[in-house]
Amino acid sequence: MLDAAQKGAYAYPAINITSLTTANGALKAFADSNSDGIIQVSTGGGQFASGLNVNDAAFGAIVLAEAVHTLAEKYDVLIALHTDHCHPEKVDSFLRPLLDASRKRIAEGKGPLFQSHMFDGSVVDLKENLAISTELLKECQELDIILEVEAGCVGGEEDGHDTSGLPAEKLYTTPADMVAVYEALQPIGRFLFAATFGNVHGAYKPGSVKLKPTILRDGQKAVTDKHGAEAEMDLVFHGGSGSSLEELRETLDYGVVKMNIDTDTQYAFTRPIVTHVCENIEGVLKIDGEVGNKKFYDPRSYLKKAEKSLCDRLMVACNDLRSTGNTIFGKV
């Protein structure tokens, strides 16, 4: 999938899911767009999916991943499973149990549970980041899993991790950082690199986010000037809400093959639920001793609308990133 995206100058939307409903909306979007895609689970998403009593991020991620493996068999597109930001303090409680789950699946003659994982070491200095990344990539390589790493910080707040107070220069990865990442990881195995160029998590109006996509261009050039054209890295775009289509497409020219989408699909999912409640308030609520209307407060009545709305927004992302119509299902 990554090779096809690089060759075709497109990227895959990588959507965070938290439930069967969001998973089904994502699968429908990729299938209806004839696009391969990436479905991912964050630590917070896994924790939510595990339920209030279990409250275990890794266990919830396993439940969602196994469900997507089963559901994806009904679709003629390729789906890669990925885990989102895992910071150093959560490696032992989140990432390693998932690697163990993949070992178990492989021992049973199946493929790994997830095709890729993200280690976010941007919260520590680059030397420590690469030391941890190196060890994790060795483990992933043994399991035919790709590791995504990050150098430089994405601004804003996501899943309880807040970097909004960081100085502006921390939001931009340098060419020297990109060379260091390549030289540390390339000899070990395939990796994805979330280089930062002003990205910010959260919701912003168009024009509010000050991106510098040329940072990706300059970093790739520093790597390829030193190691040859074949050294171009597979890059990831985090925090794209509020970015213009022109900016999104520019990053594809610099090697971006994956773009995370979460904030926009969260809103797309929630908006029709709110509309449903507002338009059917007397049916949804038992007001003044009345009995309400079961067909309006049945969760299926509004979750189906939410699933469709999430699907529609993700299809826009497929178009924006040029993955629409580019499935390689059945061709490899």
Encoded tokens for 284? 């949804």
Is 191 part of a structural domain of the chain?
yes
Whole-number pLDDT of residue 200: 59
Q: How many residues does the chain have?
A: 332
**Radius of gyration over every alpha carbon of the chain, rounded to an integer in angstroms:** 20
Encoded tokens for 285? 């609520």
Q: Maximum CA pair distance of the chain? A: 75
Whole-number pLDDT of residue 153: 53
Residue positions annotated with a catalytic role: 84
Is 19 part of a structural domain of the chain?
yes
Domains in the chain: how many in total?
1
Is 60 part of a structural domain of the chain?
yes
Is 287 part of a structural domain of the chain?
no
Whole-number pLDDT of residue 227: 98
CA–CA gap between residue 76 and residue 89 (Å, rounded):
38
Is 290 part of a structural domain of the chain?
no
Residue 238 is given by DSSP the state: -
Inter-residue contact 79 to 38 (CB < 8 Å): yes
CATH number at 47 reads 3.20.20.70
Whole-number pLDDT of residue 260: 94
CA–CA gap between residue 262 and residue 240 (Å, rounded):
9
Inter-residue contact 158 to 262 (CB < 8 Å): yes
Say which amino acid occupies 60.
G
Inter-residue contact 106 to 143 (CB < 8 Å): yes
Position of tokens 């989140």?
Answer: 94
Whole-number pLDDT of residue 161: 45
Q: Provide φ and ψ at 87, rounded to 5°.
A: -85, 165
Q: Domain of 216?
A: 2-273+313-320
CA–CA gap between residue 313 and residue 25 (Å, rounded):
10
Whole-number pLDDT of residue 170: 58
Q: How many CB atoms lie within 10 A of CB 63?
A: 18
pTM above 0.85, yes or no: yes
Is 284 part of a structural domain of the chain?
no
Whole-number pLDDT of residue 166: 46
Whole-number pLDDT of residue 313: 98
Encoded tokens for 73? 């068999």
Is 301 part of a structural domain of the chain?
no
Whole-number pLDDT of residue 154: 54
Whole-number pLDDT of residue 48: 98
Is 164 part of a structural domain of the chain?
yes
Mean pLDDT by 10 residues, the chain (332 residues): 97 98 98 98 98 98 98 98 96 98 98 97 92 98 97 55 49 89 98 83 49 89 97 90 84 95 96 98 95 97 98 98 97 84
